Amino acid sequence: MSGPMIEWVRSICPFCGVGCGFLAGVERNRLVGLEYLTDHPVCEGALCPKGNAALETVHHADRLLHPLVRKGDGFERISWDEALEGIAARLLDIQRDHGADAVGFLASAKCTNEENYLLQKWARLFGTNNIDHCARLCHASTVAGLARTLGAGAMTNPMSDVAHSDCIFVIGSNFTECHPLASRWVGDALERGAFLVVADPRVTPVVWQADLHLRHRPGSDVALLNGMMKVILQEGLHNEGFIAARTSGFDVLRQSLAAVDLAAVEEITGVPVAAIQEAARRYARAKASVIMWSMGITQHTTGVDNVISLANLALLAGHVGRPGAGLMPLRGQSNVQGACDMGALSNFLTGYVPVTDAERRARIAAQWGTPELPAAVGLTVVEMMHAAGTGALRALYVMGENPMITDPNVDHVREGLRNLDLLVVQDIFLTETAELADYVLPAALWAEKAGSYTNTERRVQWQPRLIPPPGEALPDWQIIASMGRLTGWADQFDVPSPEPVLAEINAVSPAYRGVTQERTQALGGVTWPCPEEGHPGTPILHETRFATADGLGHLEPIAYRPPAEQPDDRYPLVLTTGRTVLHYNSGSMTRRSKALLTRERSLFVEISPADAAQRGLEDGQQVRVSTRRGDADCLARVTSATAAGVVFMPFHFAGANVLTNDALDPTAKIPEYKVAACQIEGLPR
């Protein structure tokens, strides 16, 4: 007698923003295997170690199965009705006594577009713009910087386009480890003879492939980019026709670059002038050049300045709006682009409508069946933690985020969360943040619910529901819809399934108008802007005009500013943080994968041989890393991958973000994870 057949269903990798696809094998309501999807347009059948381990967490014994309420130091199981009604009653009490702005909401770049749309809609109907998510911690500066210069805060070209680039300039991105499947297109370009310039303080696997490595100091990006632009202008390598026809602000930029002194740039960045000249010439002279970046650019108090400088460089050379020529921020989580598009941001409603734009805000209010929506910009992630500490924020509702691992200055975050009257966390595991909660709600993960996800290249893909959630866990959209109804918005949250929510998104957001469920289900999905059904989508942005009001790309002079914290006698080293190939974000999923954990178990710090020798440290020794905010103990890895004076830590394990600086970029409000003054000392063996 033959057993039940395995059904193979197209699925999306739940980890990074590259958005690879695979076939998930389903048998008797369990995921039993994973096969490669060779015709997927992003990955063409390949997966990185995380993608290969995607099924490991699905049936994990640690999954949350029932709603929980705090009882003393522990939790007690309660029914869904008790949990939802209890939370709603306390939220309404806080709203009545302290106002809606005493409540904050954290959305999730791991959840679907429909779920993020519902959560931000609920927050706004509740009366506050205190809604944010981890994009604030990774690419908020990209969104702000590109919106200001090009009119759209998103990747301009599909990743496969990199294969057509003649020069690839990578700055602040270790994509071989962090977005592994993006690197395959770079490999194709290099085989064709493309030139690869990599600016990074570390020797990462991307640098191993580079033709030219600019090892600049952390936080010196603006100086480096101004230096490159100075060379381009000095040597007449700028694209005059493109500048005249498609940009504004050239004269002011030229004036400001006239004052840049290349010797001073070398002093600030540590990069020899000759290398800066070589990079500038290669980038400007190539037929099609692309810039790729990630959090090495964005996580600074100068994050927006860094991104504007990259846009300046691309506009000056005319490398935008063509195949192989563009600006490519590699977004972090599987749906961080979508969560931003949906308006899970304290300053933007769905479709990047500023909350301060009265006319467009009123249009969305009418679509949501309410007379008005809050007009004041809300609190960002880090600001919510500060406000929790002062008592200005009394309640926080967290959907699938883990600020106790991901936010800077974690000891301060803990104090804030403990000071709240109400902390609600809905998640798939009892995360470090959930451990502090008053209510914990068990959520479904990617395979247990349907919905759409938007990858880093604006490609919207549909994930079908494959299996039921475990225990009493429910999809996030269903939990949020219940909360919306219980807090007074019965009609607005009459949501039987995710499909009508996408239809509502089509109506509210012009860029998503033609992004229908049927089209997202096609292999590879559809790329926004897609203004109507039948429109093919828009893989390349800005081909004939920019998305700014006047259609021009805006050049803007940017002066170099040093990082917020400088090394001194007490903290003489610079700590910078980032990812490894084996783990993801707060690690709540990858730290539960045996395959990944066996290969990378715990926190470590990379230190140069010179700095280690000066402190008498050996490879593999236990050390204590200290900053002005706290200490973390971990293993030392002595390696020349790190320059003297700089140390590196991955942020997937508890401890790293105890050390990081919560100083913010003034516009994007992103913290300066990439530069913290620190000291390292050996611990007794």
Residues in contact with ligand SF4 by CB under 6 A are 13, 15-16, 18-20, 43, 47-48, 50-51, 179-181
**362 to each of 298, 365, 374, how far by Cα in Å?**
32, 5, 10
Q: Least CB distance from residue 54 to ligand SF4, whole Å?
A: 7
- CA 188 – CA 34 distance, rounded (Å): 26
441 CB-near residues (< 8 Å, 6+ apart): 64, 67, 83, 424, 425, 426, 427, 474, 479
Q: How far is the CB of 379 from ligand SF4 (least distance, A)?
A: 30
Nearest in space to 326 (alpha carbons), one of 368, 288, 274:
288
Question: Minimum Å distance from CB 593 to ligand SF4?
Answer: 12
Least distance from ligand SF4 to the Cβ atom of residue 183, Å: 9
| For ligand SF4, the closer CB: 15 or 477 | 15
Q: Using the minimum distance from each CB to ligand SF4, give the nearer residue, 350 or 456.
A: 456
Q: Which residue is nearest to ligand SF4 (CB)?
A: 51
Which of residues 51 and 227 has its CB atom nearest to ligand SF4 in the complex?
51
Minimum distance from residue 306 beta carbon to ligand SF4 (Å): 24
Minimum CB–partner distance for residue 335 and ligand SF4 (Å): 11
Dist. CA 192–CA 329, nearest whole Å = 23
Taken in order 46, 49, 53, 54, the sign of the CA dihedral is negative
Give the Cα separation of 127 and 113 in Å (integer).
21
User: In this complex, which beta carbon is closest to ligand SF4, that of residue 43 or of residue 541?
Assistant: 43
Which among 544, 59, 70, 97 has a CA at the least distance from the CA of 322? 544
Beta bridge partners of 76: 69
Whole-number Å distance between alpha carbons of 590 and 584? 6
Structure tokens at 573: 């080293």
DSSP label at 213? Answer: E
Cα four-point dihedral sign 672, 678, 684, 685: positive
Question: Could you tell me the smallest distance in angstroms from the CB atom of residue 333 to ligand SF4?
Answer: 10
CB of 22 to ligand SF4, least distance (A): 8
CA distances to 42, 150, 334, 388, 546 from 541, in Å: 18, 10, 21, 40, 8
Closest CA to 454 of 178, 135, 186, 671: 135
Spatial distance between the Cα atoms of 58 and 56, rounded to a whole number of angstroms: 6
| Cα(631)–Cα(411) distance, integer angstroms | 10
**16/163 with CB nearer ligand SF4:** 16
Q: Which is nearer to ligand SF4, 16 or 167 (CB)?
A: 16
How many whole angstroms separate alpha carbon 500 and alpha carbon 492?
A: 12
Shortest distance in whole angstroms from residue 47 CB to ligand SF4: 4
Contacts of 359 (CB under 8 A, 6+ apart): none
Residue indicated by tokens 């810039």: 291
Smaller CB separation from ligand SF4, 54 or 573: 54
**Least distance in angstroms from the C-beta of 583 to ligand SF4:** 10
Residue 197 Cα to chain centre, angstroms: 24
Q: Which is nearer to ligand SF4, 53 or 171 (CB)?
A: 53
Residue closer to ligand SF4, measured from CB, 13 or 481: 13
**Residue keyed to tokens 């991958």:** 641
CB of residue 576 vs ligand SF4: minimum separation in angstroms?
A: 22
Q: Minimal distance in Å, beta carbon 453 to ligand SF4? A: 10
CA torsion angle 546 552 554 555 (round to 10)? 110
Find the helix or strand (DSSP H, E) in which 386 lies: helix 381-390
Nearer Cβ to ligand SF4, position 19 or 671? 19
CA–CA gap between residue 52 and residue 42 (Å, rounded): 15
Q: Which is nearer to ligand SF4, 48 or 304 (CB)?
A: 48
Q: Which is nearer to ligand SF4, 378 or 578 (CB)?
A: 578
d(CA 444, CA 522) in angstroms, rounded, equals: 24
